[in-house]
Amino acid sequence: MGWIDICIKKTISAVIAFSFISAIGNNAFDLYAQVCPQEAYQWPIDSAYVQKQLNGVFMEYRKGSTASADHFHDGIDIQATKGTSVLPCSNDMTVIGVTYDSAGTASNRYPDHSLYLQELDAPYRIFFYTHLEAIYVQLGETVSMSVELAQTNKLNHVHFNQGANTTEVNPLYSFVETRLCPFVDNGLPSKSHSIRRSPKPLRLPV
Partner 1 sequence: MNKWSRITLSALIIFQWTASPVEVSAQETTRQTRQVKFREFSEIGNEELQALSSDETPKNFIANNQIIARDGDIRGTAEGEFQLLTKTGGLLWKEPYSYSVDGPAPKYLVSVSGIVCKVRADAGTVTFYSQHGGHLGQHVVVPDFSRTLSGQWSSEGRYFAVTSLDAQERGHYQLLLFDEDGKQLWRHQLQTKFAHEITFSPLSQWVLIGYNDLVLRKFGASVFSTRDGALISDFHSVDPNNTIFSEDGEMVLVINSQDHLLSLYETASSKKLFESKLSRPIQNVKVFSKNNLIYFLAGEKTMAPSPQNPAYQRPQLTELELTVLDLNGTILGAIELPSSFETSPNALKIHPLSSARKIILAVGDKFFACDLDY
Q: List contacts with partner 1 (CB under 8 A).
A: 46-47, 55-56, 60-69, 71, 73-74, 77, 83, 85, 87, 94, 96-99, 103-106, 114, 116, 118, 120, 123-124, 126, 128, 130, 134-141, 146-148, 151, 155, 157, 159, 164-167, 196-199, 201
Q: What are phi and psi of 144, to 5 degrees?
A: -105, 175
Cα dihedral 104, 135, 117, 204 sign:
negative
The least CB distance from residue 39 to partner 1, in Å, is: 19
Q: Is the peptide bond before 182 cis (omega within 30 degrees of 0)?
A: yes
Q: Angle at CA 206, nearest 5°, toward 44 and 127? A: 20
Q: Which CB, 51 or 198, lies closer to partner 1?
A: 198
Nearer to partner 1, 11 or 144 (CB): 144
86 vs 36: CA distance, rounded Å: 21
Name which of 5 and 68 has its Cβ closer to partner 1: 68
How far apart (Å, rounded) are the C-alpha atoms in residues 98 and 111?
13
Query: Which residue lies nearer to partner 1 by CB, 157 or 179?
Result: 157
From the CB of 155, what's the least distance to partner 1, in Å?
A: 8
Dist CA 100 CA 114 (whole Å): 7
Nearer to partner 1, 46 or 53 (CB): 46
Q: In this structure, which amino acid lies at residue 134?
A: A
**Whole-number minimum distance, CB 91 to partner 1, in Å?**
13
- State the nearest-atom distance from the C-beta of 161 to partner 1, in Å: 8
Tell me the sheet residues that pair with 150.
86, 135
